[in-house]
Amino acid sequence: MSNVKISIIVPMYKSEPFLIKCLDSISLQTLKEIEMILINDGSPDNSGKIADEYAKGDDRIKVVHQPNSGPGASRNRGIEVARGEYIGFVDSDDWVDPSMYEMLYEAARNNNAQVAMCNYIEEYMNPNRSLIISHPFKDQDLLDKEMISEHIITSFATNDNMGYYSLWNKVYKREWLLEQNLTINEERNHGEDWWFNLEIFSKATSVVFTTGEYYHYMHINTNSLMLKYNENQFELFLSGRKHLHHILRASGVDISKYKNELDRRFVDECIGCIYKEVLNQPKKNRATAYIDNILSNSEFNMAIQSYIPKSKMKKLLIILLKFRLLTCLRFIINTSWKTKNALIVLKNYTNY
- Which string of DSSP letters, residue by residue, matches 246-299? HHHHHTT--GGGGHHHHHHHHHHHHHHHHHHHHHH---HHHHHHHHHHHHT-HH
Its pTM stands at 0.93
- The average pLDDT across 287-296 equals 92
Q: How far apart are the C-alpha atoms of 352 and 345, rounded to whole Å?
A: 17
- State which H helix or E strand residue 119 sits in: strand 115-125
Predicted confidence at residue 296, as pLDDT, reads 95
**348 has a pLDDT exceeding 60:** no
For the chain, what is the total number of helices (H) and then of strands (E)?
16, 10
Cα–Cα distance, 68 to 304 (Å, whole number): 39
Mean pLDDT over 28-46 rounds to 98
Q: Which range has highest mean pLDDT (3-12, 229-238, 308-317)?
A: 3-12
| CATH 3.90.550.10 boundaries in the chain | 6-220
Tell whether the model's pLDDT for residue 221 goes beyond 80. no
Residues 10-15 have a mean pLDDT of 96
Q: How far apart are CA 327 and CA 308, in angstroms?
A: 23
Q: Any idea which architecture 6-220 has in CATH?
A: Alpha-Beta Complex (3.90)
Average pLDDT over residues 251-264: 95
Could you tell me the pLDDT band of residue 51, with boundaries at 50, 70 and 90? very high
pLDDT in tens, 109-157: 999 999 999 999 999 987 789 999 999 999 999 999 999 999 999 999 9
For residue range 177-217, list pLDDT tens digits in order: 999 999 999 999 889 999 999 999 999 999 999 999 999 99
Average pLDDT value over all residues in the chain: 92
Provide the pLDDT for residue 225.
Answer: 46
DSSP per-residue string spanning 27-84: HT-S--SEEEEEEEES-SSSHHHHHHHHHHH-TTEEEEEE----HHHHHHHHHHH--S
Q: Which of 161-170, 279-288, 341-350 has the lowest mean pLDDT?
A: 341-350
CA–CA gap between residue 70 and residue 188 (Å, rounded): 9
Task: Please tell me the predicted confidence (pLDDT) of residue 276.
Answer: 87
CB contact set of 285 (below 8 Å; sequence gap of 6+): none
- Mean pLDDT score, 289-308: 93
Task: Using pLDDT thresholds of 50, 70 and 90, give the confidence band for residue 339.
Answer: low
Residue 288 has pLDDT above 70, yes or no: yes
DSSP calls for 205-224: S-EEEEEEEEEEEEES-HHH
Residue 257 clears pLDDT 90, i.e. is over it? yes
